[in-house]
Structure 1
Amino acid sequence: MLVDIIFSLVIGGTVGIIGHVRKHGKIIMPRKTKKFIYLGFLEEMLLGAVAALLLVLYTAPNSNVENIIISIVAGIFGDATLSGLKLLRQKSEEK
């Protein structure tokens, strides 16, 4: 089970980084401004990894192939969640 957990974290984080590069065209490093800490690619990597971990723990896959597929889907879902939150934030600022 520990191998499944580590495997899902790595795959989910990798999918998060790939989604970040697809969205921004490059890897944006974390930086600190006067009022805010911007996590850059770490934000999407962590969200993808945590989403993959939670889904793998919930479903308990029987094989490595199932673990890979579930982790990839969870990483994509984490990226979609960030995109949805950004869209909602933009719509609320327009009003």
Structure 2
Amino acid sequence: MLQTVIVASLIGGLMGLLGHVKKKGRMEKPRMTKRFIYLGFWEDIAMGTTASILLVLSTEPSSSFQLVVLSIIAGYSGEAVLRSFDFVRQQQDSIEQPVKDNERQAK
């Protein structure tokens, strides 16, 4: 399991870096402004790594080929994958909320 997470994080980070270069056209270095710290390419590496780990842990790939493919997809589209996880969580919360309200009214 640990090997799976390590491989997923490495591939996801590399694909996040490649996605950053494709999106921006170059590697942007981290910089500080008066109010904000812009992480540059490190931000996309972190997004790709996180998305890849979350996707691999949630799907539990059965072969190394599936692991590599899922890591590539998640790493390259890291921000979209993380948004989809947030969307799923919001949907589950909205489904559970009326049930909790009904239970409170029944008491």
Under a length normalisation based on structure 1, what TM-score does the superposition of the two structures give?
0.79
Higher relative contact order (Cα pairs below 8 Å, separated by 6+ residues): 1
Query: Within 5 A, what are the aligned runs for 1:11-90?
Result: 11-79=11-79, 81=80
> Any stretches of 5+ residues in structure 1 without a counterpart?
85-95
- Partner of 2:54, secondary structure, is helix
Q: CA deviation at 1:77?
A: 2.5
What RMSD, in angstroms, separates the aligned Cα atoms of the two structures?
A: 1.7
Question: Secondary structure of 1:9's match?
Answer: helix
What's the CA shift string for 1:28-78, capped at 9, x where partnerless? 111111111001001111111100000100111111111000101111221
Query: In terms of Rg, which structure is larger?
Result: 2
Q: Distance in 1 between matches of 2:76 and 2:29?
A: 21
- TM-score for the superposition, normalised by structure 2: 0.71
Aligned length: 82
Q: Which amino acid aligns with 1:29?
A: K
